[in-house]
Structure 1
Amino acid sequence: MIGTTDRMRVDYAQYYLYGTNYVEGEDHNALERVRTGNSVAAAAPDHLTVSCGTHTGAIRLSVEGRTDPPGPPEADWETVVDLSLFSATGELGVQPWGGQAADEAVRGTLAVAGAGWYRVRVETRGRDKGRALNVANPWVEEHRLTLWPAPPAPDHVHRVTDEVGKATYDPARPAAPPIPPDPSADESLLRSWARSAGIAIDDNKSIPQSVRALAAAAGILPTRHEP
């Protein structure tokens, strides 16, 4: 899917991607990981927190779910970061703070390949303008999220050039590793992945070894999550 909205609601300088398996408040240290990481986003299973310059109001947001990696980032994006996110069910959607409905243009699922690992590119410009205004409506800050299926890997910072980002980003700091799902969720994880991949399995029987082997080859099993 591809969509753009000029009315993406921002509160407390943040918005999210949520999966249907995410439990509210589970990723309670996300903003701290943003500040001590790449300066713009932090991912956990079924959850992505994105940090804005604008405290309250609107930003312009474009989203794209695709099956192949994007090309090099365009030069006019001030901060660009790639990070890994796991989707247990194959459903990931934009969510403002407080649970309000996102604009229809960016409401669809971005996990186009079903359950599994995705790479997320977060691109921003205008965060300094948003920080200076604090409350912005109409928008002065623009973000773009691009997701595609890819094995897990540490964060990759293409660049951080805005003052909002440079205030916390340290290029000498080791890149943050991806966070895998809880290994105790193995069975439900494999069943969700099999359904999203079109593999028929009996919910009343154990998962066949052949399905486990396919999941392992696809990088789905928790034992294969380490980059």
Structure 2
Amino acid sequence: MQWETDTMQVAYRLYYLVGKDSDIFHREKDATDRALASNSLAAAAPEHLTVITGTHTGNIRLSVELRSDEPEPPAPQWETAIDVSLYSTSGRLWLSEWAGELIDTAGNLAHAGSGWYRVRVQARGRDRGAAQGAVQAWVEEHQLTIWPAAPDHDKVHWVTDAFGLHYYDPQRPTASPVYPADALPWAIRTDNVRIRAWAEQLGYDVQGQDRIVAAIHAASLGKPSAGSPAL
């Protein structure tokens, strides 16, 4: 399946993939920092992918390809190309603009149901986008290729644009995949009843948390807890 648009809206140099259960997981405030520190382009967590553009505000050209297997190596016309692992708990994954507007026309991108996916993010024109800042007609192009695959560290095929090279350091180790249990806020994944009550008082979705933890355990993806301190 292939989908394409010339009017993917970005703001603050960001757009996303988000899942149905994304609000239950702690939205990592450092997602942009993780992306810039690891590969300059994208960072994944359960039910969520953050992608960084050179364009600050406006349209980019974006194509999405859904596959059942790993694609051929990236073509040389892409200036930056990376692969990351993303886990879908809900089996629902949608394109989203920075402000939260879902792009329904692209369809459900978790095309194999719940489980692990590999996402290849390819970009070109980030330097032009960064130079212009705000654009009407696109000057930057991205492609997302998504296929089911076991979790693995980020893979940086290459980073050649000046925007990416400002952040990317090939001497740094690549980022490891984020498992669902690791992405939950500590205060609601702990077995300590008092901490969970405190988390609920602060507005965490504890009932939703129970549902997600059950799904994690059913999929044998939960990592052993290190325990929690007594209060």
Give the alignment's TM-score, normalised by structure 2.
Answer: 0.80
Displacement after TM superposition at 1:35 (Å): 1.6
Residue equivalent to 2:168: 169
Residue equivalent to 1:152: 151
Indicate if the aligned counterparts of 2:56 and 2:134 stay in contact, CA closer than 8 A: yes
Unpaired stretches in structure 1, ≥5 consecutive residues: 191-211
Indicate if the aligned counterparts of 1:27 and 1:47 stay in contact, CA closer than 8 A: no
Q: CA deviation digits over 1:173-212, x for unaligned, max 9? A: 011000000275331346xxxxxxxxxxxxxxxxxxxxx5
Letter in 2 for 1:13: R
Taking a change above 3 Å as real, the CA distance of residues 103 and 137 of structure 1, as seen in their structure-2 partners, is farther
Mean CA deviation greater in 164-173 or 16-25? 16-25
Letter in 2 for 1:31: T
Aligned equivalents of 2:109 and 2:27: distance in 1?
A: 21
Secondary structure of the structure 2 residue equivalent to 1:36: helix
Aligned equivalents of 1:133 and 1:81: distance in 2?
A: 24
Letter in 1 for 2:118: R
Indicate if the aligned counterparts of 1:78 and 1:161 stay in contact, CA closer than 8 A: yes
Residue equivalent to 1:122: 121
Aligned equivalents of 1:159 and 1:103: distance in 2?
A: 31
Aligned equivalents of 1:4 and 1:222: distance in 2?
A: 36
1:40 paired with 2:67, answer no
CA RMSD of aligned residues (A): 1.8
- Segments ≥4 residues shifted beyond 4 Å: none
Percent of aligned pairs sharing the same letter: 50
Q: CA deviation digits over 1:89-108, x for unaligned, max 9? A: 1111100011224272x2x1
Aligned equivalents of 1:151 and 1:100: distance in 2?
A: 29
Indicate if the aligned counterparts of 2:216 and 2:222 stay in contact, CA closer than 8 A: no
Indicate if the aligned counterparts of 1:5 and 1:103 stay in contact, CA closer than 8 A: no
- In the TM superposition, what are the counterparts of 1:1-227 in structure 2 within 5 Å? 1-23=1-23, 26-102=27-103, 104=105, 106=106, 108-182=107-181, 184=189, 185-189=212-216, 215-216=219-220, 221-223=221-223
Secondary structure of the structure 1 residue equivalent to 2:180: coil
Aligned equivalents of 1:118 and 1:61: distance in 2?
A: 19
Instruction: Report the count of equivalent residues.
Output: 195
Aligned equivalents of 2:180 and 2:115: distance in 1?
A: 10
Taking a change above 3 Å as real, the CA distance of residues 5 and 31 of structure 1, as seen in their structure-2 partners, is same
